[in-house]
A and B are shown apart, each in its own frame.
Chain A
Amino acid sequence: MIALRDLSLAQGEGRLDPLSLEIAAGEIYFLLNRPGLDRLFAVLGGLGRPDAGEVVFSPGPTGTSPAVFIDRVGDVADFETEARIGDWLDFLCASCGYDRACVYKTLLVCGFHERHLKKKARELAPDIFKQAYLAVGLAADSPNIVINDFIRGAEKGFELKFNKLLLQKKALGRAILYLGNDIFYASEIADRVGFIKNGRLLFEAESADLRDMDIKDLYLKFLN
């Protein structure tokens, strides 16, 4: 369970009026905001502090982190470590205590070829690198997952693989909070959707209800 209680971020980019939300286990909640929710994502990830309110993640089994955070990959060059992807994954498994089998299982589901392990980040196509990134992101067996606009710019093939993984996690009872601005993708994947405009949560809808609504109209109203 992920709970945001009267969480507010003061004036400036990514301003947020007091926001209360609760995402249950096994639920995907999509929070939509046109300029994106990078600041909220940083606060959820503990890299920033809210001006008021709190974030609560239900604890997982002992030794696991309460939540995993998967950010958007803007430019693969940002992740260039000059080491091979295989070495990078080994390092992350060893230093973060991830189960290698879990990482490689995700890679298999994504269709990541073994030869890519010998390449460096800069030598991989963005979607291929994202597979490795995702494998690390989902490696920790955490009850809560927070994702920030991860699918932006991805090809359909990658999006489908990602959806498959996300639905697997949902089936395993993970609470998933997705931050982004893609209403069409939200309508495909989410159980509930919230619209933020000018820092305020203006509208919430169940996914089933969303399908009956005019998505273009919603887009123009809340995200334009």
Chain B
Amino acid sequence: MLAFLRFEGCRIFAEKKNLAFFLLIALSAGYFTWSGVNEYRRSLAEREFFVNFEREKTRQIATYAQYGTFGFRILYETAPLNLFFVNSSILQDLESNIDNYEAIRIDSSFKGDKLFLMRGYFRDFAGILFVFGSLLMLYLGHLALGSPPYLRFLAGRMSLVRLFFLTTAARLFWLDLFFLVLVLGLFAGVQAGGIAFSGQERTVFFFYLLFLVLLLNFIYLLGQLTTMLVRFRKTFFLWFFVVWFAIIFLLPELSRISVFRKSQSLEPAEKVNLEKFRNLMAMEKEFREFLKANPSTPLDQVRRMQKKFAVQFINSSYLVNTGLELRYLRKVGNVIADHERRSVFFPTTYYLFLSGEASGKGYHGYLDFMDYIMKLRNRFMQFYLKRRYLEPDSAVESFVKGSENIFRSRSRLPRSYVVGVLVTALYGAALLLLAFWSLQRQVRRS
């Protein structure tokens, strides 16, 4: 094994074009990490602006009626680990406004400098490793076994099983080592640069790294198998491109289209909002009709009626509307769960899903955010109605305590992580065996 390790090390690292490729990957990954760190720091600075702005806004509000109308905003705070997945996340910079309006709004701002935050596929640390790493692995998988005459020459000197499996193991060892050193080096560098990660984030990152290495090994084995299947012909490069395009771009895009189609079965969010609005207006109408029928009602009685309606609203319409929102969220959750299940079936689609979740701005981050908004909104409505109708003359006090209006996103591993790893490992094992079977046929046939 040592002889194979040494020789494959020489083969990989003594070649200038390989070194140029390694350097390109290392520099690009380093650059995008640095860019991610800057974006993370900017988001922290913006968080301070946000908190101060919200505090100031609440101070300017004179009555609880105004407070109910303007409400307050919640910021979706980026998790530190997001700096590695800036463009791999599903959600962008988000915020929501909590007020007495029925619809829950989640917005992304494109104002000012945010207009220039061009988001898109693969322009981050995780994307660079995915695109360039896969290219490199596919190419080095292609080169692994040389040519049929070379294999025939070696097959006369050692067993084909030994040659194939030890060559594969040795090459994967060096390539995995390169990616591990690069990624762990950058992770350590980011920490040394002052970004602190929690223990849970570190765990998520190491499991992400494990899957990345598995994925790259899978792609290497795919390159090896493709070479065997095209019998080492020069047309490999055409197939190389086709295979690479299919696994990196086409399959993930098909997966995205599939989830989009699935999401079409959800009723539009506007429909849910309209239903909630109707529930609210039905109560308003009832109140107006009462005033119309009793135009000379004294003010204190009107206030008592308002209180009564407010209590009635909390106990009926509001609960109905919350139920509608929860039911809608459950349906969204089902689409997400279905998407997760489908992603597991292919390593590259699962890598993208995993990156999204590890970034803290994935689909489950959205569900958590919605859950947080609804809980906070529930408390705010009770606070608002109580203060407005039971203590109308009291000075306006902020509902937000501490940093309640900051939602801290959490990097996480999908629940299907173990299945994803196993499926990828199974694919790898199948490719390895298929390549060996094909190799035996090649050598015998040539």
Question: 1/0 per residue A39-73: CB within 8 Å of B?
Answer: 00010011110000000000000000000110101
From B4, B7, B15, B149, contact of A73 by CB (8 A) = B149
Question: 1/0 per residue B221-265: CB within 8 Å of A?
Answer: 000000000000000000000000000000000000000000000
From B7, B146, B444, contact of A47 by CB (8 A) = B444
Cβ contacts under 8 Å, A78 to chain B: 146-150
Cβ contacts under 8 Å, B11 to chain A: 81-83, 87
Q: Knowing A47-B155, A48-B444, A95-B158 touch, does A81 contact B149 (C-beta < 8 A)? A: no
Q: Which DSSP category, helix, strand, loop or mixed, fits chain B's interface?
A: helix
Determine the residue in chain A with the shortest Cβ distance to B443: A47
Q: Knowing A47-B152, A95-B158 touch, does A82 contact B18 (C-beta < 8 A)? A: yes
Task: Place the interface of chain B in its size category.
Answer: 20 to 34
Q: Knowing A42-B444, A45-B156, A48-B444 touch, does A79 contact B7 (C-beta < 8 A)? A: no
- Residue B114 CB within 8 A of the other chain: no
| A90 & B7 in contact (Cβ 8 Å cutoff) | yes
- Residue A154 CB within 8 A of the other chain: no
- Residue A74 CB within 8 A of the other chain: yes
- Residue A204 CB within 8 A of the other chain: no
| A87 & B15 in contact (Cβ 8 Å cutoff) | no
Question: 1/0 per residue B47-88: CB within 8 Å of A?
Answer: 000000000000000000000000000000000000000000
Task: Place the interface of chain A in its size category.
Answer: 20 to 34
Give the interface centre of B18, B157, B446 by most chain A CB atoms within 10 Å: B157
- Residue A171 CB within 8 A of the other chain: no
Q: Knowing A78-B146, A82-B143 touch, does A91 contact B152 (C-beta < 8 A)? A: no
- Residue A84 CB within 8 A of the other chain: yes
User: What's the least CB distance linking B167 to chain A, in Å?
Assistant: 10
- Residue A92 CB within 8 A of the other chain: yes
From A68, A74, A82, A136, contact of B14 by CB (8 A) = A82
| B156 & A68 in contact (Cβ 8 Å cutoff) | yes
Cβ contacts under 8 Å, A91 to chain B: 3-4, 6-7, 10
| A95 & B14 in contact (Cβ 8 Å cutoff) | no
Determine the residue in chain B with the shortest Cβ distance to A95: B3
| A79 & B152 in contact (Cβ 8 Å cutoff) | no
- Residue B2 CB within 8 A of the other chain: yes
Determine the residue in chain A with the shortest Cβ distance to B140: A82
Cβ contacts under 8 Å, A82 to chain B: 11-12, 14-15, 18, 143
26 A-B pairs within 8 Å (CB atoms) are namely A45-B152, A47-B443, A69-B156, A73-B149, A78-B146, A78-B147, A78-B148, A79-B146, A79-B147, A79-B150, A80-B146, A81-B11, A82-B18, A83-B7, A83-B14, A87-B7, A87-B11, A90-B3, A90-B7, A91-B3, A91-B6, A91-B7, A92-B157, A94-B2, A96-B157, A96-B158
Interface residues of chain B, those whose CB is within 8 Å of chain A, are 2-4, 6-7, 10-12, 14-15, 18, 143, 146-150, 152-153, 155-158, 443-444, 446
Q: A47-B156, A91-B4, A120-B14 are in contact. List 6 more A-B contacts (CB 8 A).
A: A47-B443, A71-B153, A83-B7, A84-B14, A90-B3, A96-B158
Interface residues of chain A, those whose CB is within 8 Å of chain B, are 42, 45-48, 68-69, 71, 73-75, 77-84, 87-88, 90-92, 94-96, 120, 133, 136, 140
